[in-house]
Chain A
Amino acid sequence: DTEVTQTPKHLVMGMTNKKSLKCEQHMGHRAMYWYKQKAKKPPELMFVYSYEKLSINESVPSRFSPECPNSSLLNLHLHALQPEDSALYLCASSQDNVQRGNIQYFGAGTRLSVL
């Protein structure tokens, strides 16, 4: 099983709302990732968690707040977003974050619209 599950699939929120995106994997992977993908562009890395600790923050605005409650779950808390934050948010996981040739497995994404 190489499945990464993301919920919800679609989310519409106002600029004053607080919402959360969820990601779950049961492959025993110890590295988890959040990406943002705008239309017709490649994914852009936002955060990396390694062994449940935040190891990389790619200078993401503080209105995005990641959380890794345990090794299987990854959340992205959203607050006071802007319309330009509308995008497809992808979660990925991999076995380890330093292994050569390590494969990242992606979820189907949450399509976010900020009004």
Chain B
Amino acid sequence: GDSVTQMEGPVTLSEEAFLTINCTYTATGYPSLFWYVQYPGEGLQLLLKATKADDKGSNKGFEATYRKETTSFHLEKGSVQVSDSAVYFCALSPLSGGYNKLIFGAGTRLAVHP
């Protein structure tokens, strides 16, 4: 079945460091791909999305590119801030099933220190 695998955390970085959170997926065809972020005590917020191969999603300095050849959607940011500390979920929405089901990765906790 469809699945998402994320790198295990926690990821601990100093402010202004470069961030990469790896995400790979297994799915039939070309699913839509998402990154959601969950700040402490809050719900999930969409960070960015991509719906077809080679699409690049970007928002708030974060970027991810839909790579069909490596079935990956890695999240990157050039310079993280303390306010980026949160849990990041990679997710896919499969083509089949007839509805917009989200399949989530396990989540990666990011802690950014001053």
Contact = CB atoms under 8 A, between A and B. Distances in A.
Interface of A: 4, 6, 31, 40-43, 45, 48, 50, 55-56, 90, 92, 94, 96-109
A98 B102 CA distance: 12
Interface residues of B, number: 23
Given A100-B32, A102-B93, A106-B45, A94 B100 contact: yes
B114 interface: no
* Interface residue SS majority, chain A: loop
23 contacts: A4-B43, A6-B43, A40-B107, A42-B107, A48-B101, A56-B101, A92-B44, A96-B100, A97-B98, A97-B99, A97-B100, A98-B98, A101-B49, A101-B93, A102-B93, A103-B34, A104-B102, A105-B46, A106-B36, A106-B44, A106-B45, A107-B43, A108-B43
Contact of B99 (A55, A105, A109): A55
B101 to A, nearest CB: 7
A98 B99 CA distance: 4
Interface of B: 32, 34, 36, 41-46, 49, 51, 89, 93, 95, 98-102, 104-107
Contacts of B104: 42-43
B43 A56 contact: no
A108 B43 CA distance: 4
B107 to A, nearest CB: 5
A50 B99 contact: yes
Q: Which 10 pairs of residues, A with B, have the shortest CB-CB distance? A: A42-B104, A101-B51, A97-B99, A106-B43, A106-B44, A101-B32, A102-B100, A108-B43, A109-B43, A107-B43
A31 B97 CA distance: 15
Contacts of A101: 32, 49, 51, 93
